[in-house]
Amino acid sequence: AQSVTQLDSHVSVSEGTPVLLRCNYSSSYSPSLFWYVQHPNKGLQLLLKYTSAATLVKGINGFEAEFKKSETSFHLTKPSAHMSDAAEYFCVVSALSTGNQFYFGTGTSLTVIP
């Protein structure tokens, strides 16, 4: 079975400081992992994906995530927050073994304080 746990429902950071959004996953098989961002009244935009290649994945807008199998984690980071980063972030897991369905975390709302 696949599942995703986003450990923080809300994170606040000051502009220019680092961002850390935490995600733990559960998967019986080799998973694919994704991070998506959603701005108000918009669809989800792909930030980055992990598909069993390099464990450190770089995405758009300066975001990156590290796949740690031993910790079953896929945390999203950014060195310096920008006001435009304020949004809802979703961690997603999928696996070929379970019909390729996407399993979404409950989301983390990121607030950036000027």
Nearest distance from C-beta of residue 111 to other proteins, angstroms: 17
Phi and psi of 42, rounded to 5°? -130, 165
Lay out the site mask for other proteins across 28-57 (x = CB under 8 A, - = otherwise): ---xx-x-x----xxxxxx--x-xx-----
13-48 per-residue burial string, b: 16 or more CB within 10 A, e: under 16? beeeeebebbbbbebeeebbbbbbbeeeeeebeebb
Binding status of residue 95 toward other proteins by CB under 8 A: yes
Binding status of residue 21 toward other proteins by CB under 8 A: no
Which chain residues interact with other proteins by CB under 8 A?
31-32, 34, 36, 41-46, 49, 51-52, 90, 94-96, 99-104, 106-107
